[in-house]
Amino acid sequence: MSELNEILKAWRHELHRHPETAFEETRTAAFVAERLREMGIEVHTGIGGTGVIGRLKVGDGPKVVALRADMDAIALTETGTVSYKSEHEGKMHGCGHDGHVTTVLGAAKLLSESRDFNGTVQFLFQPAEEPGKGAHAMIDDGLFERFPMDEIYGQHNNPAYPAGTVNICKGGFASCEDNFKIEIHGRGGHASAPEKTVDPMVIAAQIILALQTIPSRNAGAFQPVVVSCTELFTDGAHNAIPSNVTILGDCRSYSKEMQSLIETRMRDIVEHICQAYGATWDFLYTHEFAPTVNWDEQVDAVIQAASHVLGEEKVNGNCSPFMASEDFGAFLEKVPGAFFFMGGAVGDESRDMPLHNSCFDYNDDTLEAGAQVFAQLVRERLAG
């Protein structure tokens, strides 16, 4: 194992021991800032709360490329047995953001030592990706005005792909996440006399089933859409028909047009079913994560750089999109860029734990590969 990978492992294990959740990443941010300063990189802190920017300019090239890593952990108690297990009850790096931070720090180390590019690279360390708030917080804090950039790139580890592979596709890569709340107001009563009630449970059942016609009958056959009703609450009892029912849920898609269609159709379905049964209703639809939509030119750049580092056989340029969400999409609405997966699977079920599992642990053997891909990407995009 190389000296660089040993350094990156040590950094990642230190971060893993001290996970911090959204907007609380003060120790993590301080660790990042200290490492960047040791490399001679200009550092800016406190952006969007706990965000950190490192800037490295070489030569007189005007172009600016950004590399992004998310820093926050999740609210989960780690049950694994690694020696560097989380020291903070109820918090762990169960999504691998410790590895993401380390990978971008590794790219910063490589580039600060080689300085073999012409332009500016910005290392962007973002808070609060998990709740989908951190990218917007940095943007609202003037990220693009204070630190203009021409392109931005990011990656996420994925234990479903073989270790050391890069997986990417053009267009929709990660879905949006929209949340909804449907409140149905009927008239409750005794379970023995339903004819004297306006039963919101029956109405809710009709609505839940009807919502599934949105992906099956309103979206195109090749447009991925998921509508999920995930929670149901009533104010009734086992022998009382309730007066009120609340349905909560989640929608996933890859475009603003589809988000708009889902919201419109959902509102229509709720309104007209409630009207048909004589109930009233309230409807709330919120946009939590923007879809992550990769730009074609930047996808080609990732494929080329990764192929030069890893070999063409380890780069999949047409992987399947995934229906989970990633707030990197907020950056891609502002500037061109691309997001890719770095595979982490070793073919051992005891190690290849899914993301957000309490035993998940980032594959250290992919840290250097990710750093080298990022560094090569910068070199090629900022070629003199």
- We report the CATH number of the domain holding residue 278 as 3.30.70.360
Question: End of a domain among 225, 258, 289?
Answer: 289
Place of tokens 């003199």: 384
The predicted pLDDT at position 61 comes to: 97
229-250 pLDDT, tens digit per residue, is: 999 999 999 999 999 999 999 9
Question: End of a domain among 255, 289, 323?
Answer: 289
72-110 pLDDT, tens digit per residue, is: 999 999 999 999 999 999 999 999 999 999 999 999 999
59 and 165 share one domain = yes
Looking at the 3D structure of the chain, how many domains does it have?
Answer: 2
| Average pLDDT of span 108-121 | 98
106 and 31 share one domain = yes
- Give the chain's count of helices (H) and strands (E): 11, 17
What does the chain come to in residues? 384
102 and 158 share one domain = yes
- The answer to whether 185 is a known ligand-binding residue is no
Question: End of a domain among 289, 311, 331?
Answer: 289
Band of pLDDT at residue 150, cut at 50, 70 and 90: very high
The predicted pLDDT at position 350 comes to: 75
258-298 pLDDT, tens digit per residue, is: 999 999 999 999 999 999 999 999 999 999 999 999 999 99
347: left (phi over 0), alpha (psi -120 to 50) or beta: left
The predicted pLDDT at position 1 comes to: 60
> Which contiguous run of DSSP H or E holds residue 316?
strand 315-316
298-344 pLDDT, tens digit per residue, is: 999 999 999 999 999 999 999 999 999 999 999 999 999 999 999 99
250 and 117 share one domain = no
The predicted pLDDT at position 324 comes to: 93
Place of tokens 């040590």: 10
Question: Which one-letter amino acid corresponds to residue 155?
Answer: Q
Query: What does each C-alpha distance from 226 to 59, 122, 218, 355 come to in angstroms?
Result: 48, 36, 12, 20
330-380 pLDDT, tens digit per residue, is: 999 999 999 999 999 998 887 899 999 999 999 999 999 999 999 999 999
284 and 305 share one domain = no
43 and 158 share one domain = yes
Cα(262)–Cα(271) distance, integer angstroms: 14
167 and 310 share one domain = yes
The predicted pLDDT at position 182 comes to: 98
Residue 146 has pLDDT above 70, yes or no: yes
- The answer to whether 156 is a known ligand-binding residue is yes
- The answer to whether 136 is a known ligand-binding residue is no
Query: What does each C-alpha distance from 99 to 12, 71, 221, 352, 367 come to in angstroms?
Result: 6, 9, 37, 15, 7
Alpha helix locations (H) across the chain? Answer: 3-17, 26-38, 97-114, 134-140, 143-146, 200-211, 213, 256-277, 296-310, 329-332, 367-381
For residues 255 and 291, the answer to whether their CB atoms sit within 8 Å is yes
38-56 pLDDT, tens digit per residue, is: 999 999 999 999 999 999 9
CATH of the domain at 372: 3.40.630.10
168 and 40 share one domain = yes
For residues 124 and 55, the answer to whether their CB atoms sit within 8 Å is no
Write down the mean pLDDT value for the chain: 97
12 and 79 share one domain = yes
The predicted pLDDT at position 348 comes to: 86
154-174 pLDDT, tens digit per residue, is: 999 999 999 999 999 999 999
- The answer to whether 359 is a known ligand-binding residue is no
155 and 184 share one domain = no
- The answer to whether 87 is a known ligand-binding residue is no
> Which contiguous run of DSSP H or E holds residue 71?
none
Centroid of chain to Cα 341: 11
Q: Which residue from 105, 37, 38 is spatially nearest to 71, judged by alpha carbons?
A: 105
Q: CA-based angle 169:288:184, to the nearest 5?
A: 125
Q: What is the domain range of residue 364?
A: 3-173+292-381
32 and 94 share one domain = yes
Alpha helix locations (H) across 124-199? Answer: 134-140, 143-146
249 and 163 share one domain = no
Cα(342)–Cα(111) distance, integer angstroms: 20
> Which contiguous run of DSSP H or E holds residue 324?
strand 322-325
